[in-house]
Structure 1
Amino acid sequence: MTKRTWIITGASRGLGRALAEAALAAGGNVVAAVRTPGSVADLADAHPGAFAVIPFDVRDVAAAPALAQAAIDRFGQVDVLVNNAGRAVVGAVEEVGDEQLRDLMGLHLFGPAALVRAVLPGMRARGSGTIVQMSSQGGRMSFPGVSAYSASKFALEGWSEALAGEVAPFGVRVMIVEPSRFRTGFNGAGVLEFAEPSQIYRQALAAVRADMAGTDGRQEGDPARAAEIIVSLVHGEEVPLRLPLGREAVERISGLHRRGLAETTRWAEVARAADFADAPASARPV
């Protein structure tokens, strides 16, 4: 495999750490952008020539150019950016406040967008590079209790789909990864945030809250295997725009498409009636 330099955010645990380990095993260089450098001290000790740790908070968009430059200074270029850092807030729309919603948008959209802008000039100049956006099956569907999380991941996916079309002519690839549940710390106490439950929604969201809190350590997804798949695709000739990762993600997203097509078909004639009767069919460049 060709040696590549990776920037991975949130590399201290879970899928981010598994990706760092898999990229190193494949012979790559890794820049771990983490809030707690000590969390990856063992990787730094084990791979002194190929692993760099940079303290970084994804929400600090002003720091993104410096992170990209530090990776270039250390390893010469950035070949792969993995926007992985993330977390969730569970609560009804009326329970999650503006500050929590803005924080998730900063973590899942504004921060990744700043990092992409920071690495793209070098990728375009070389005519190569891969941007991996770690989304979620919650970036394609939503359900009661996860409105804030899904809103931020929906936003990331829409932004990234447009990005993919813009940078493809320059040889830069974009892959949106949509994992189901993986055995990481994502659902752990102290990581998963719960909005203060209100009497109005306490009973309606009781099952969702219990499910989200009770799955830690029992998730069916293997982070190491997921990381191997992602690294293998990055090293391959082709990457999918979207990669549902894990059996549950494949099944749930497939079902979402089937239901969406059925609903569109059911209401198609009603929807078409909104057009001017004599207007020609639209023609767009994409």
Structure 2
Amino acid sequence: MRLQGRTAVITGGTRGLGRTIAEGYLAEGASVLCAARNPYDIKELGDYAPGRVAYQETDVTDPASVARMMAAAVDRFGTLDVLVCNAGVSRNGMIAKLGLADWNDTVQTNLTGVFLCAQAALPVMAAQGGGRIITVSSCTASRVAVGAAAYSASKAAVEMFTRSAAAEFAPKNIRVNCLSPGYIDEGMGKEVRGNERIWETYRKRLLSGRLGDPAELAAAAVFLASDESAYVNGHILEVNGGLLWA
């Protein structure tokens, strides 16, 4: 129970990797507020950990909505110890044909959303003596994926934002790290695995020869939220099974 008594806010926490992280935190004793535009199957999480799960409808691109999210966590559970900036969208397309609306939507959600959430968490965590902020990037932040310019660029920017925030927030005892998943058997990774032709191409690039188990990603997220990572700050933690790129 490494997170016993702590409160975590997870954006995009009602499905996919966000929900996976929520499950990992609940298993370690945390109370979790899952923030997203839609609740999806949040009831299942509530049934798993009665009294320790809350849902807050949130648009991470809207400062007022983000502020309500932070207030809801403190009102419900009393503290804000961990923030996981996981909400993201993918609007893939070749640069020559990528629409401005899709570009803006990707950057607003994946990058500006992280900025707004971290900025809103700062005074709350500082007032209580510290906290942890975990951003979520992607293996494509550092490896070229044709047709994913908007997504890759936004995630690369998240990694540099993480390092900047770590330096600025350190005097307030707030550590900021980034979780960078590779191909996990959930969400986008599961879609890759479902296409045999595409999967055969990516499988050869994985030293592990397989997709990552969602529980393996959750374990890394628990590490970054726990006291075990007390001396880790401004770090990009890749969880990708040894992903090569050609």
In 1, are the aligned partners of 2:7 and 2:31 still within 8 Å (CA)? yes
Q: 1:93 aligns with which of 79, 92, 95?
A: 95
What is aligned with 2:149? 147
TM-score, normalisation: structure 2: 0.86
**Is the CA contact 2:61–2:116 (under 8 Å) kept in the aligned structure 1?**
no
Unaligned runs of 5+ in 1: 193-209, 256-286
Query: How many angstroms apart in 1 are the aligned matches of 2:149 and 2:17?
Result: 23
Separation in 1, partners of 2:100, 2:210: 30
Q: Counterpart in 1 of 2:122?
A: 120
The structure number with the bigger radius of gyration is: 1
Task: Tell me: CA distance 1:117–1:18, structure 2 relative to 1, closer, same or farther (3 Å).
Answer: same
- CA RMSD in angstroms comes to 2.5
Q: Report matched runs for 1:140-219 at 5 Å.
A: 140-187=142-189, 211=198
Query: What letter corresponds to residue 213 of structure 2 in structure 1?
Result: D
Distance 1:223 1:110 in 2: 26
Q: Contact 1:72–1:78 (CA<8 Å) still a contact in 2? A: yes
8 Å contact kept, 1:80–1:129 = yes
- The separation in 2 between residues aligned to 1:43 and 1:247, in whole angstroms, is 28
Superposition map of 1:257-272 within 5 A: none
Q: Which amino acid aligns with 1:22?
A: G
| 5+ residue gaps, structure 2 | 203-208
Q: How big is the shift at 1:45?
A: 2.6
For 1:32 and 1:238, the matched residues in 2 are separated by: 27
3-state SS in 2 of match to 1:114: helix
1:8 alignment counterpart:
10
Opposite residue 110 of structure 1, the aligned amino acid is: T
The 3 A distance-change label for structure 1 pair 247 and 183 is: same
Partner letter of residue 101 of structure 2?
Answer: E
Report sequence identity in percent.
36
Residue 223 of structure 2 aligns with which residue?
232
Q: Is the 8 A contact 2:129 2:173 kept in 1?
A: yes
The separation in 2 between residues aligned to 1:65 and 1:230, in whole angstroms, is 24
Aligned residue pairs: how many? 232
Match of 2:68 among 66, 69, 82: 66
Question: Could you tell me which amino acid in structure 2 is paired with residue 211 of structure 1?
Answer: I
Secondary structure of residue in 2 paired with 1:182: coil
TM-score when scaled to structure 1? 0.74
Structure 1 residue 90 displacement after superposition: 2.3
Q: What is the alpha-carbon distance in structure 1 between the residues aligned to residue 11 and residue 76 of structure 2?
A: 17
The alpha-carbon deviation at position 101 of structure 1 amounts to 0.4
